[in-house]
Amino acid sequence: MGMPPHSDHGLLTLLIQNGIGGLQIQHKGKWVNVGTHPNSFLVNTGDHLEILSNGRYKSVLHRAMVNSNGTRMSIAMAHGPSLDSVVSPAPELLVSSEGDEPAAYIGMKYKDYLELQQSNKLDRVRILAV
C-alpha cells in the first residue's frame, strides 16, 4: 500500500518494515529512498517533537511508494501525549544566555490537532506548514 507525502503527528514513530523498500523521505527538497534493515526500527520524528523543541527537531516529510518487486508491509507505532495535552514550545527553550527566542508555533490541544490532520480540509499536506 502506498502513502502520500505527510509528516506524522506525535513525538516519534517507530516503523518495522518487511524488507521490501518503498519508503522515501524528503531531504533538501529531494525524495530519498530509505533502506530496510532486518531486525530494526526506523524512527521518524513527528510534528509534536518539532513544536515542543521549537523547531530544533523537524518532523520528517515522508511517503511510501508501491513497486512490482514484492508486497511491502510495515507497522507504524505512533507515540504522542495524552489527547487533552496542549503541546507548545517548551518554555525552557525560549530563553537562553543569548536572550529570548520567540515561540515559532502556537499551542494546540493534541486532540484538536489530530482532528485537523484527519479532516479533508488540508488534503494531507504537512499540517505545520499551514
The footprint of Fe ion (CB under 5 A) covers 8
Question: Residue for cell digits 505512533?
Answer: 78
User: Would you give the DSSP letter of residue 62?
Assistant: E
Round to whole Å and give the CA distance between 106 and 99. Answer: 20
The answer to the question of residue 76 lying near ligand AKG (CB under 6 A) is yes
User: Is residue 62 a contact residue for ligand AKG (CB under 6 A)?
Assistant: yes
Bridge partners for 75 per DSSP: 16
DSSP type of residue 54: T
d(CA 83, CA 69): 39
Binds ligand AKG by CB under 6 A, chosen from 12, 51, 64, 87: 64
The amino acid sitting at 78 is A
Which of 48/89 has CB closer to ligand AKG? 48
Residue 90 C-beta: closest distance to ligand AKG, Å:
25
Q: Choose among Fe ion, ligand AKG, none what residue 64 binds, the Cβ cut-off being 5 to 8 Å by kind.
A: ligand AKG
Residue 8 or 47: the one with the smaller Cβ distance to Fe ion is 8
Contacts for 116 with CB less than 8 Å, ≥ 6 apart? 122, 127
Binding pattern to ligand AKG, positions 88-117, x when CB under 6 A? Answer: ------------------------------
* Polymer length in residues for the chain: 130
Give yes or no for residue 24 binding ligand AKG (CB under 6 A). no
Chain residues binding ligand AKG by CB under 6 A are: 3, 8, 15, 17, 23, 62, 64, 74, 76
